[in-house]
Structure 1
Amino acid sequence: MPRLAVIAGLGALGVLGMPLLHPHPSGSTDRVTPGAVRVESESTVSVTLIDDRARLQRFEREYEVELATGSGFTVTPDGVIVTATQVVRSDKDLQVYAANRVFAEYFKVDVPADFDRHTVDDPDLNIRLQACYPPRTQNSTCNATVETKVTAFPYLDPALPEGLAAEVLSAGDTPSAPAVLKVNAGPKNNLPTVPMGTTIGAEVESVDVMTLATRPSAKAPPKMDTAHFDPPGSRNFKAAERDKIDKLIEAGAIGAAVIDDRKSEVVGVLSGGGSLPATVTPVDEIRTALVAAGVTPRRGPVDVVYEQALAAYHNKLYANAAPVLQQVLTLRQDHAVALDYLRVSKAKANTAEDAAKKKPSPVAVPAPSPGVASWIWITGGVVLVGAVMAGSVPFLLRRRRNGVDQQDTSGENHALVTSWPAQTEVYRTPNPGQPVMDISPAGGQPHVSNPGSNPGGTSKKFCTQCGMRLGHAHRFCGFCGHPSDAP
């Protein structure tokens, strides 16, 4: 278990630098394809014919009969596979086939090598032929035994030419029922698996059928065909698509995974063909069959890391996908899809096709909210500037007055001289009784006078506290409230 955590953690490290993008885009059936399996079953019939006409003779033969071929999918990393019962258990009677073959070969009569019961013209031979067919009785002239062999071919690269011998853990009573197989997955027990859904919901309409018409390889990957349920969730295909489904079944889609295109999960298994209608066995029945066989579907470390690689690959972040795909191959070096995607990622990494190398689009600056008019923002700014200026003027004047006070106290200066254009103003000194300097118009000379020595003239008075102009005969400053020192 610690090893599992480390492996999954290593895979996660490969995507830490990626943007948080959708891990697996809608309709991405390559979540499922690594778990595709081709299933082939054949039987060996051993038959003994007994001829007691002249002397007792035994004629023994062995025949190999191909039962069925189809598709399937892996549901656990240690090699549990699901397909349709009709792929591993034929409804044809192999003992009848063996009787026809051995009788025709021994007695040199024309009996077709098929699964039907026949008659011959010779009455004595016909009695013996009918006694050769099952069931076996005391008068039977033939004795046959059947041994069925099932082989699974996972989608790997390089392909397994001999496949993997599969044991049938359970099979259903009908051809469409799920059959549960088990193969030896090797010491690592890390075959790729498929993600399984829980039910066919009412919203499931678009599906994909995953078919392996031949033994899989890099040149013969699973084939995906889209179909639609009508109505959604009904498991009935649209009338216009039924011919297509029948052709898929004939081409090897018996036992194929039916995939919900929206979630990329297996939601059923396909069966049918011949006299049997196309049938989708839902995923809840598959899960029931697995429980009856003592199996719980699960995914392995190779699946976890592989899906992390898909997140980067599908978003064209090839430089980021390559090391994670390499980690998949460290866990399973013959993972067919990871090998293919790694080749693509290495070829496109750090090129113009790599989304990580493209310049990001400029971000548009949002316009001001339409709920607040622009003139309100402008007016507010003007008011704010005015408030700052109004508050700073008294402060600056107070600092200037304090400077004059310090000069008067030291005895160095007793008057403040300021140039105001084209007018004469009288500034009163902060201390009553001190001389005041008149500032004459341009060209005139300033002179010192005493307070009240300006008979007949008018003077402007200023507050000794804040420096603002005093109104005529005001006893208090209208700005700061300080008492006026005017007589």
Structure 2
Amino acid sequence: MARLTALTSGVAVTVALLAIPAAAHEHPSGITDLVTPAVVRVEAVSHVEITLLDHVSQLRHVERSYDFPIGEGTGIVVNPDGAIVTLTRVVKTDEEAVAVTAANKVFAEHHDVKIPQDAKRHSLDDPILDRHLKDCYPPKRSTATCIIDVTTDITIFPNVSPADADGFEAELVRSGSGPDTPAVLMPTARAVGSVGMPTAPLADKVPDQEGAPTSVAGFLGRPGPNVRTTVEIAHLGKGGGAGATGRPFADPEKKADEPVKLGGLADRGMIGAPVIGDKDGHVVGLLIGGGKDARMIGVREITSTLSKAGIAPRRGAIDSAFENALTRYHTKYYTEAAPGFQRVLELYPGNVVAADLLKIALAKRGGPEDAGTKRAAAPASGGVPLWPFIAAASVLFVAAAAGAFLLWRRHRGGERPDDHLPPFVPQQGYDEGANQTVMVRRSLQFPAVPQQQQVLTAQEPAVKFCTACGMRLGQAHRFCGYCGQPAETS
């Protein structure tokens, strides 16, 4: 047991010391790279097919099709299957208003009359044309002069290189109750590879503290060589960020009017853009509003809408590979980061962020900025060198092994029956000056038959033994030193 304990202790110490990490790779804070690969451009139009039944001069069917823009904004991919979250105002509009606009447009074109091209119902001076115009407006009736079909076409332009000029189609799965509430989209066809698309991680909650730093990332146009992701710094104001009213932005140092700054970006295409927390780079909300009053709805609004749509946000294989490479990159281990980014591009060849960072990592690997090269050359002066711990562990291991070997040698014969007998205590008649007594071991199984084991000592002539216990008697012994039997009777 002692041998096993010593050996185990040595191994445990060695393993513990060798398991000390070479360097702590903590994920850097305040970055947007975790999110920007999953940022997409969202464009939606109302497609109208309208047939005007002309009964004025002769029976004619006038067929027209129109596309009326609904919105342009930004969204984020939240799972590898391509589920996207944006704002309802970007992808949904009043279909009746669109139908009225189409009726005004086709009537003005065919009958050559002046009618404003808007969503209002108008009147004409000609009573016959006026009656036909009013019968063209929805809702559809048996006397209707127009047959109108309105559909919504949603196109997603991912953040890829080379740029996808056509994008891919998506459908509205779930919309919110108001224009500034989240909407969930899904691709109508598989627009991604076998491992899916990059996703944006969602935070657990909105930071509570006023003035918490964030970043807003989105597109001011369709992604391409001349249109890259726009990132703007922002700070959260007072409030919780829940509900359609959202949470305001406010610069704690009052150097910038952030509601106005971000409102201008929202009007130019960044409406629905993710608001990214500075702590861990996760999405804490979406940009809403516009003009001079930009705000943010919180992440709980996003997760609630996803839950109602039956879609679970999750990360994929691309995200795991990218985050590992990104950690090494931001801690300046460029040699280790380069193959990580190459792996990401194998999984998702169009990843713009991974491609950009790979170029930088390849340019800096093995150079003076590469932390891996510095560590290979010499340990950092401020760090604790690892070799003393390894040497100490080796010494402890060798000592434990030596001790175990000695214990084994000592007990190689196993435990003997008389190991548990009490120690020898000299009796009163013991002569200190007599010759050494030979130790005779008594068998516990057969006590009547004494067993002797000779010790390599000089033998005396006329050796006598005790007839009671079998112990050797010295020349001057009057009594047996072990059992006390008189020597004369032996």
Partner of 1:190: 196
Partner AA of 2:381 in structure 1: P
Partner of 2:299: 283
Q: Distance in 2 between matches of 1:267 and 1:203?
A: 13
Partner of 1:329: 345
Distance change in 2, residues 1:300/1:364 (3 Å):
closer
Partner of 2:266: 249
Match of 2:221 among 214, 220, 230: 214
Q: Is the 8 A contact 1:85 1:177 kept in 2?
A: yes
Q: Is the 8 A contact 1:203 1:233 kept in 2?
A: no
Partner of 1:160: 164
Partner AA of 1:172 in structure 2: G
Partner AA of 2:59 in structure 1: L
Q: Is the 8 A contact 1:218 1:336 kept in 2?
A: no
Deviates more, 1:241-250 or 1:351-360: 351-360
Q: CA deviation at 1:279?
A: 4.2
Partner of 2:78: 75
Q: Is the 8 A contact 2:334 2:370 kept in 1?
A: yes
Q: Distance in 1 between matches of 2:217 and 2:192?
A: 25
Distance change in 2, residues 1:350/1:67 (3 Å):
same
Cα RMSD, aligned residues only:
2.4
Partner AA of 1:209 in structure 2: V
Q: Deviation digits for residues 227-265 of structure 1, max 9, x if unmatched?
A: 122126452122822111210111101221111122211
Give ranges in structure 1 of 5+ residues lacking alignment.
1-15, 366-487
Partner AA of 1:345 in structure 2: A
Q: Deviation digits for residues 314-352 of structure 1, max 9, x if unmatched?
A: 122211111111121222222111111111111111112
Q: CA deviation at 1:281?
A: 2.3
Q: Is the 8 A contact 2:195 2:347 kept in 1?
A: no
Distance change in 2, residues 1:145/1:305 (3 Å):
same
Partner AA of 1:347 in structure 2: A
Alignment pair present for 1:269 and 2:286: yes
Partner of 2:331: 315
Q: Deviation digits for residues 130-155 of structure 1, max 9, x if unmatched?
A: 33222223333222111111111111
* Counterpart mapping for 1:116-155 below 5 A: 116-155=120-159
Distance change in 2, residues 1:21/1:223 (3 Å):
same
Distance change in 2, residues 1:319/1:364 (3 Å):
closer
Q: Is the 8 A contact 1:156 1:218 kept in 2?
A: no
SS in 2 for 1:76: coil
Q: CA deviation at 1:52?
A: 1.9
Match of 1:237 among 246, 249, 267: 249
Distance change in 2, residues 1:364/1:256 (3 Å):
closer
Q: CA deviation at 1:73?
A: 0.4
Partner AA of 1:266 in structure 2: V
Q: Distance in 2 between matches of 1:55 and 1:334?
A: 56
Partner of 1:343: 359
Match of 2:90 among 66, 87, 91: 87
SS in 2 for 1:146: strand
Q: Distance in 2 between matches of 1:17 and 1:305?
A: 21
Q: Distance in 2 between matches of 1:17 and 1:91?
A: 59
Give ranges in structure 2 of 5+ residues lacking alignment.
1-19, 242-246, 252-256, 385-490
Q: Distance in 2 between matches of 1:124 and 1:270?
A: 49
Q: CA deviation at 1:219?
A: 4.3
Q: Is the 8 A contact 2:262 2:290 kept in 1?
A: no
Q: Deviation digits for residues 201-226 of structure 1, max 9, x if unmatched?
A: 31362221111111123542211111
Q: Distance in 1 between matches of 2:161 and 2:383?
A: 48
Q: Distance in 2 between matches of 1:363 and 1:64?
A: 65
Alignment pair present for 1:35 and 2:38: yes
Q: CA deviation at 1:17?
A: 9.1
Q: Which runs of 4+ in 1 moved over 6 A?
A: none
Distance change in 2, residues 1:363/1:101 (3 Å):
closer
Q: Distance in 2 between matches of 1:77 and 1:260?
A: 22
Partner of 1:258: 275
Q: Deviation digits for residues 93-142 of structure 1, max 9, x if unmatched?
A: 11011011100011101112222333333333223223322222333322
* Counterpart mapping for 1:95-110 below 5 A: 95-110=99-114
Q: Is the 8 A contact 1:209 1:257 kept in 2?
A: yes
SS in 2 for 1:289: helix
Distance change in 2, residues 1:125/1:304 (3 Å):
same
Q: Is the 8 A contact 1:50 1:142 kept in 2?
A: yes
Q: Is the 8 A contact 2:195 2:318 kept in 1?
A: no
Partner AA of 2:131 in structure 1: I
Distance change in 2, residues 1:363/1:173 (3 Å):
closer
Partner AA of 1:241 in structure 2: E
Q: Deviation digits for residues 436-475 of structure 1, max 9, x if unmatched?
A: xxxxxxxxxxxxxxxxxxxxxxxxxxxxxxxxxxxxxxxx
Q: Is the 8 A contact 2:259 2:295 kept in 1?
A: no
Partner AA of 1:262 in structure 2: K
Q: Distance in 1 between matches of 2:200 and 2:333?
A: 24
Q: Distance in 2 between matches of 1:95 and 1:364?
A: 71
Match of 1:305 among 317, 321, 331: 321
Q: Distance in 1 between matches of 2:268 and 2:294?
A: 13
Q: Distance in 1 between matches of 2:352 and 2:23?
A: 26
SS in 2 for 1:280: strand
* Counterpart mapping for 1:359-398 below 5 A: 360-363=379-382
Q: CA deviation at 1:297?
A: 0.3
Q: Deviation digits for residues 268-311 of structure 1, max 9, x if unmatched?
A: 1223347x964422211211111111111000011011111111
* Counterpart mapping for 1:402-441 below 5 A: none
Q: Distance in 2 between matches of 1:160 and 1:172?
A: 29
Q: Is the 8 A contact 1:203 1:232 kept in 2?
A: no
Q: Is the 8 A contact 1:77 1:185 kept in 2?
A: no
Distance change in 2, residues 1:54/1:364 (3 Å):
closer
Q: Distance in 2 between matches of 1:108 and 1:185?
A: 44
**TM-score, structure 1 as length reference:** 0.67
Q: Deviation digits for residues 392-447 of structure 1, max 9, x if unmatched?
A: xxxxxxxxxxxxxxxxxxxxxxxxxxxxxxxxxxxxxxxxxxxxxxxxxxxxxxxx
Q: CA deviation at 1:79?
A: 0.8
SS in 1 for 2:130: helix
Deviates more, 1:41-50 or 1:299-308: 41-50
SS in 1 for 2:338: helix
Deviates more, 1:146-155 or 1:132-141: 132-141
